[in-house]
Copies of this chain bind each other. A is one copy, B any other.
Amino acid sequence: MSVPVHAADPGPGPLTLSGQGSFFVGGRDIQSDTLSTLPAYAPSGTITVDQVYVRYQIPVDPVRPPLVLIHGCCLTGKTWETTPDGRMGWDEFFVRRGFPTYVIDQAWRGRSAISPAQIEAVKMGKAEPDSLPPVFSAGREPAWAIFRFGPEYPKVFPGMQFPLEAQGEFWKQMVADWSAALPVPNPTVPGLSELAKRLKGAVLVSHSQSGIYPFQTAALDRTGIRALVAIEPAACPDPAKDDLAPYKDLPILVLFGDFVDASPRWAPRLKQCRSFVAAANAAGGRAELILLPEIGIHGNSHMLMQDKNSLDIADWLAGWIEKRAGKS
């Protein structure tokens, strides 16, 4: 597979940034006596966990509000970068469109630290094997239908826009997922709240597993949150259980791709989000639910930010944000 490197495809022309960098939000210190079984590293000490890694780029003329891009299950912030087939990611597209863009790694994922303490405690014989964290990886064969590349591995939905010729690069994006070992809400949620306050008006853009996080962040504290975009959320708030007051007057978009009704995993989630949107609007909300085929965009998988028409979708989404969530 050809991937652009030094002096390759000239692309869309130079990109000028007024600033870029990375930092962490959130985090808490824990003391442990089971950090290591290696002679070179002491077993006892203090480490920091639950922090959230954030990388940002600021355009020279940031005329749009800051976006926070939050990846889903078994993936990292890489989700939003260069696509598997080597095209521009949403991270750069939105910067070029005038949005300061913040890409995170969820707590306990990617560059956001895990604690190995429970694993080492079991290895030392100080804890039982069934106390090990339920860390999992999604194999490509079962994940195939979850990503809606087709009804089952390796069948492909007709008109599929995911660049399956570069799927090997996509499988390399997948990482182990510790989220089932973490409390609810996920520690990413208070991290997002801290970030939103710092940005003083952020649009939180989630995907899949992280779909509920921005809603939980708004429920924690609306400060600094300008709008929510949930791309193919695994869950929306439950109108039968959750308070809908945090969503009053807040621009919310729930966006799904194609082939949703053909998916036993996603069809019920779409239905659940429809009921949330209706209830939120009845309670004074400004929520919308859009299926891409309804606006004339067809063939999208669950990984729509990497599909061949990913920048068409980004362009439409940028327009939605500009219209609903105003200027910076």
Tell me if A317 counts as interface (CB < 8 A to partner B). no
Whether a CB of chain B sits under 8 angstroms from the CB of A176 is yes
Determine whether the beta carbon of A174 is less than 8 Å from that of B113. yes
> Hey, which chain B residues are within 8 Å of A137, CB to CB?
35-36, 45, 47, 113, 115-117
In the docked arrangement, what's the CA distance between A171 and B129, Å? 29
Residue of B nearest to A58 (CB): B6
Which of A139-147, A275-283, A298-306 faces chain B?
A139-147
Q: How far is the CA of A113 from the CA of B111 in the complex (A)?
A: 11
A151 at the binding interface (Cβ < 8 Å): no
* A234, chain B: closest CB distance, angstroms: 10
Residues of chain B lying within 8 A (CB to CB) of residue A175: 111-114
Inside 8 A of A143's CB, which chain B residues have their CB? 45
A19 to B10: give the CA distance in the assembly, Å. 7
**Residues in chain B near residue A134, CB distance under 8 A:** 36-38, 120, 123
- B115 x A176 contact (CB < 8 A): yes
A139 vs B223: C-alpha distance when bound (angstroms): 34
Chain B residue numbers with a CB within 8 Å of A245 are: none
Which residues of the partner chain B approach A105 to less than 8 Å between Cβ atoms? 111
Q: Which residues of A contact B (CB under 8 A)?
A: 3-11, 14-24, 27, 29, 32, 35-38, 41-42, 44-48, 51, 53, 55-56, 58, 60, 62, 66, 76-78, 81-82, 86, 88-89, 92, 100, 105, 110-117, 119-120, 122-123, 125, 129-130, 132-143, 168-169, 171-176, 180, 198-199
Given contacts A119-B133, A123-B132, 17 further A-B contacts (CB under 8 A): A3-B23, A10-B19, A11-B19, A14-B16, A21-B82, A35-B136, A37-B134, A45-B138, A45-B139, A47-B138, A47-B171, A48-B168, A111-B173, A116-B135, A116-B136, A116-B176, A122-B132
